[in-house]
Structure formats: structure tokens, C-alpha cells
Homo-oligomer: A and B are copies of this chain.
Amino acid sequence: MENLPRQKPRVVIVGAGFGGLEAAKKLACKDVHVTVIDRTNHHLFQPLLYQVATAALSPADIAAPIRGILSKCENMEVILAELCSVDVNAKKVKLSDGAELDYDFLVLATGARHSYFGHDEWEKLAPGLKSLEDAIEVRRRLLMAFEYAERITDEAARRAAMTFVIIGGGPTGVEMAGAIAEIARHTLAKDFCHIDPSQARVILVEGDPRLLATFPEDLSASALKQLVDLGVEVRTGARATDLTETGVQVGDEFIPCRVKIWAAGNNASFVGKTLGVPIDQVGRVMVNDDLTIPGHPEVQVIGDLANFSHQTGQPLPGVSPVAMQQGRLAARNILAMIDGHKPQRFYYWDKGNMATIGRHKAVADLKLVHLSGLPAWLAWLFVHLIFLVGFRNRLLVLFQWAWAYLTFNAGARLITRNFQSETRPPA
């Protein structure tokens, strides 16, 4: 790698999710040299990933090339590579291809992956939803399950193929459960000869006594009711204790099912461990109130990788507004420090929380008001369109939603990759 001239302070941002991208945007065209490192070439609008998984949207609708977003300013360099380790004392990051980069300021925003609570072997059985690849795989499994059910005559096997278990009743789990129920009852309803997709069972399993634990109780209750109206079977206070190819053990009951989806837990990226500072149980870095790490004011950690407990005593939730607000402050603090000022502390401005369940079905906690059903759904639609990155994507998504709304038809029902082993009925 050539190292660029060092006149300008050099900022390295690792991760171009909501936090990292916001930080980079704030530093664009400023008097610093910025290097953004990400292991994919796209910024992903993760809150809509479940719509790719359920065939409502295409991958490109919710992903934008990082280079395209950041190419307007000359102080911006984008590197497609994976972070290997950070040496905070030498002020260097090492990439997995062997390259090393020096920095004057570092922003770590590498996020989180699913956590299977020590059962890593469950990942293959029950994929989660973090990347486009995850979503395409879930979409493939969903659609293949119906294809398989159509061709098999054994009643028990057919029933298992048409049973979908979602583990985890947070926003992702609730959204997946609602979307699968809708696709089965509407989109696919008339597509098959030997099965009736509307008879599919969708089971949502949550260990807590209620769904959407981070929402107010009245909205949890409303979400439950809206899901039940859609025909989803909700099991709260129930834990998945074992997963196998053929099903899920939930408490005393073994539920035979082909497709399982994991929406239960997250672990922060491994990067936190390499910094030599305190981390919490799920790997998040315990940051100072200005997002820096102890002893290193030039290193800031933001988003799902950070445990910021200075505001409420509890870690802030792993949602995009937290990451975006932290990204913006990280950038501002870097510019302040360059000018010889002290970094500011972080305050999260919580504008609320939303989850969608289906057509005209959602919950929205807007702090001053709690919305359910159609008003919540319209609010959700509006907010998600506003925040979709890139004008083109917003229009494309709007168009596809309008189309799906009018026709009950999910357009992106593609099965790609090899399916051979899956259509074959068991010997």
C-alpha cells in the first residue's frame, strides 16, 4: 500500500454501518485524511433486511456502494478489507491481507454478529439476519420449504416443511414472523397445487414474558395481538433448548420444523477484545462518556460495539439512531481535538422505537404517544423511507412497497444457488 502524504491528520474508520458511515460523512471535505475500511463494498440498511429475507425487496434496494456514497470528497479513501487487529500503542490497524495502516484518530464501528449462546453449531440450522448473504439464504430456505412441501406426500414431513420457527421476539423476530405469515397467506396462497400455503404455521419463541422487551408494555401487548390476528403462534416465556435438522425443542415440546430463523442474541465484534480495555459479557467495549477508551483519547468506539452506560445506567440499545448519533459526535470530537479542544460527552436523543408486523400492522413508541396498527404502520413507512440511504433506493423501495401493497405480491421471490439436495424427498 502506498501511504499518502502525512500533512493532514489521518483518521481511520473501521466499519461502514450506520455509525461508521455517519462519522465518515461528517469528516468529508474536512481538513483530515479519512480511510474507511469495510469487509463488504456496501452500506446495508439493516432494519429492512427482513424484507429481503421475505422476498419483498431486492438486495440492491437496501444496500448502497460505500464508494458511491463517499466519493464526492478527495479526502476520503475506501478500502475493502477485513480488520485483523488494532495496536493502540503503536497507533496502527492491521488488515487481514497483511497491510498495516497508521492513524492519528481511530473510530471503531465494527458492530455485532448473532450469538448462539455457546451453541455455535446452531448457526447452520438457524441462520440469523445481519448481512445480505444471510437474508438471501433465509429467503432461499423459506421458498424452498414450500417447494419441498409441494412435492412430498408424507403428511408429517409436509407439515414440518410448512412450519417456521423464529427464535427471539425482539423487533427482528416480530417482523420476520409477521412477514412470513403474510407471504404464506397472500403472496403464495394460489401458487401451489398440492399444498395450501395459508396453512403454514409460524411460531415465534421468546424467552422473556413479553415480546419487544425494549418497548412499553402496552405496545408489547398490541404487537402480540396483531401477530395472533395474522395467525402467528406466539410462545413467550419459552426458550429454545435444542435445535436439530428436524425441529426445535421448546420447553417440553419438540416442534418438528424445517426452517428455523435466529433472532435471539448478539455478540459484539471480536475487535473489542484486541484493545486491552474492559469489555462486557457480550464483548462490547466499556467506553468513556465521550466514546473514547481509557487511556486513548484518539480511539473512539461507537454503535453496537460500544457499551455506553453513562446516560441511564444501562447500556444503550443496539439500534441505528444510537450508532448514527455516536458517529456524528465521534467526527465532531476528532475535529475538536485537532483544534485543541476537549471532546464532548455523548447524549443519546431517543426519538422512539418502531416495529412493523404486516400490512397496516405495527407498533410505534414515539415517547409522547404510543401508536398501534395503521397509524404506527404509516409512521414506520415514512421513517424508513426517509432514512433509506440514497435517493434512488428510496424511490425504488417506495415503488415496490406500493406495488406489493396494491397486489399483495412480493416480487423478489428468487431462489438462487443449488437446490438439488433440498428438493429431493427423503429416501
B395→A399 contact, CB < 8 A: yes
* Min distance, Cβ A254 to any Cβ of chain B, angstroms: 28
Kindly state the separation between the CA atoms of A393 and B411 in the bound complex, as whole angstroms.
Answer: 8
User: Per-residue 0/1 for A66-79: is the Cβ within 8 Å of any B Cβ (1 yes, 0 no)?
Assistant: 01100110000111
Which residue of chain B has its CB nearest to the CB of A400? B396
* Min distance, Cβ A358 to any Cβ of chain B, angstroms: 20
Q: For chain A residues 381-423, which have a beta carbon within 8 Å of chain B?
A: 392-393, 395-396, 399-400, 403, 407, 409, 411-417, 419-420, 423
Give the copy number. 2
Q: For chain A residues 192-220, which have a beta carbon within 8 Å of chain B?
A: 192-194
Which residue of chain B has its CB nearest to the CB of A2? B153
- The yes or no answer to A99 lying at the interface (CB within 8 A) is yes
Kindly state the separation between the CA atoms of A129 and B63 in the bound complex, as whole angstroms.
Answer: 24
Residues in B whose Cβ lies below 8 Å from that of A392: 400, 403, 407, 409, 411
Which residue of chain B has its CB nearest to the CB of A191? B67
A63→B1 contact, CB < 8 A: no
Pick from A53-61, A114-122, A269-277, A279-287 the stretch touching chain B. A53-61
For A151, give its contact among B1, B63, B413 (CB under 8 Å). Answer: B1
B77→A411 contact, CB < 8 A: no
A417→B81 contact, CB < 8 A: no
- The yes or no answer to A425 lying at the interface (CB within 8 A) is yes
- The yes or no answer to A190 lying at the interface (CB within 8 A) is yes
Which residue of chain B has its CB nearest to the CB of A80? B147
* Min distance, Cβ A65 to any Cβ of chain B, angstroms: 4
Residues in B whose Cβ lies below 8 Å from that of A150: 79
A65→B413 contact, CB < 8 A: yes
- The yes or no answer to A27 lying at the interface (CB within 8 A) is no
For A132, give its contact among B77, B143, B400, B414 (CB under 8 Å). Answer: B414
Residues in B whose Cβ lies below 8 Å from that of A414: 41-42, 59-60, 63, 65, 132
* Min distance, Cβ A328 to any Cβ of chain B, angstroms: 24
Interface centre among A78, A99, A413 (most CB of B within 10 A): A413
Residues in B whose Cβ lies below 8 Å from that of A400: 392, 396
* Min distance, Cβ A222 to any Cβ of chain B, angstroms: 32
Which residue of chain B has its CB nearest to the CB of A194? B2
- The yes or no answer to A96 lying at the interface (CB within 8 A) is yes
B81→A151 contact, CB < 8 A: yes
For A77, give its contact among B81, B97, B193, B425 (CB under 8 Å). Answer: B193
Kindly state the separation between the CA atoms of A18 and B42 in the bound complex, as whole angstroms.
Answer: 34
* Min distance, Cβ A28 to any Cβ of chain B, angstroms: 13
- Interface residues of chain A, those whose CB is within 8 Å of chain B, are 1-2, 4, 40-42, 58-61, 63, 65, 67-68, 71-72, 77-82, 96-99, 132-133, 136, 143, 147, 150-151, 153, 188, 190-194, 392-393, 395-396, 399-400, 403, 407, 409, 411-417, 419-420, 423-425
